[in-house]
Amino acid sequence: MAHYLTHARIYTPFVCIEPGTLVISDGRIVAVDHVTALPPPRNAQVTNLEGFWITPGLIDVHIHGLLGYDVMGEGLVEVCRLLPRYGVTAFAPTTLTLPWEETLIRLRHMARLLARSSQGAQPIGIHIEGPHLSPKRPGMANPRWMRPLTLEDWQAMQQAAQGHIRLITFAPEEGHGAVLIPKLRAEGVIPVIGHSDARFDQVADWVQHGLTMATHTFNAMRGLHHREPGVVGAVLHFEDIVAQLIADGHHVHPVAMKILLQAKGPTGVALISDAAPLAGMPPGEYTWGTYRVIVDGSTVRLPDGTLAGAYALLDTGLRNLINLVGLSFQEALITATVTPARALGVPKGIIRPGYDADLVVWTPDLHVAFTFVQGKVVYTSPAHDTVLAPKLP
Ligand SMILES: [Zn+2]
């Protein structure tokens, strides 16, 4: 049966249609238009969403977990179930730097879980973040376990993950890691520069060979110096690089976020949460993998104060781009929908016929009322649980 969602304000997100109507069927978007231009199909379930805003579902390409659940284990199932309440409908479960053998064991486990179908947000491939990082830019990761990326390591990881790896964050300047960039691209994997101390001229060369993304821009990368623009300068300069951005208000100063968005525009910036498995947990001391971390109610840190992933989820980042950086809702939305979907080449992130019916229905103060994944309601906020109930004739 088709769903006919009507009288809402719809952000495609490039265009705003009000009052707008959306027809979804078999998990896909069938039509979207102004209410007067699109009558309900026969036998469709009609839902009046006057006063609500509909957008594409948010896509988080860099997330380690939330609410005590770690994507590198059983917790992955719960992460799928919980993310829709934050408006996230698709995500890339992201690994943590651990000893090499442990990394492979965890990847095997993740692959087994990914092979089963799960309820909620859809995993769209594993994102590897470590151990192929630069010990000079470790962030929270333990430099003892770091090693240059080699063909053998890449093959071992992708084999353990049964082909589920879609993104790999690494420092191409370590060893001969950079030579793998074209191979990763040829295999449909996104090479992501991150935790890197590379010089600008090195990054410029890798862009020629297919480098297309940067992990948590500004954090754990060589900064911009006016005579050596570094990794940050390269990310700002090259249109081909999509810049991941954590907008939790702690990892990047609002002015730095604004400079990045002015340089690249919303289609060049992918909003990420980088949420730690402790995101959303009460203040206290916890373990993440083998790391001891401290949660204070707004950040997650190592005992020495280093930020260890983020505490906020993607919906908070979206609101921060509007409230702290001054983006319009449509601009902010593009960074969390269109940009990551295009980078991954998935038919999501835009409300357009033929695309997946992954949708978020928001209240005008930007809180999630309902979330749809492939046309099915996977989350209903307790405040709105009567709106979607089928009306009796
Ligand atoms: Zn991370």
At the fourth CATH level, which superfamily is domain 58-344? Metal-dependent hydrolases (3.20.20.140)
Cα 273 to ligand 1 centre (Å): 9
The count of C-alpha atoms lying within 13 angstroms of the C-alpha of 303, restricted to the half-sphere facing its C-beta, is 5
pTM: 0.97
Q: Does residue 135 have a cis peptide bond before it, meaning omega lies within 30 degrees of 0? A: no
- In the chain, CATH 2.30.40.10 sits at 3-55+350-384
Query: In Å, what is the CA distance from 152 to each residue of 157, 177, 180?
Result: 9, 11, 11
Q: Which residues of the chain have pLDDT under 70?
A: 389-393
CA distance 382 to 118: 22
Kindly give the distance from the C-alpha atom of residue 152 to the centroid of ligand 1, in angstroms, as a whole number: 23
Q: Encode pLDDT of 318-351 as tens digits.
A: 999 999 999 999 999 999 999 999 999 999 999 9
Q: Where in the chain is the domain with CATH 3.20.20.140?
A: 58-344
CA of 37 to the centre of ligand 1 (A): 45
Query: Residues with catalytic annotation?
Result: 274
pLDDT value, residue 392: 46
Distance (angstroms) between ligand 1 centre and the Cα of 289 equals 13
Is the C-alpha dihedral spanning 307, 309, 312, 316 positive or negative?
positive
Tell me the CATH number for domain 3-55+350-384. Answer: 2.30.40.10
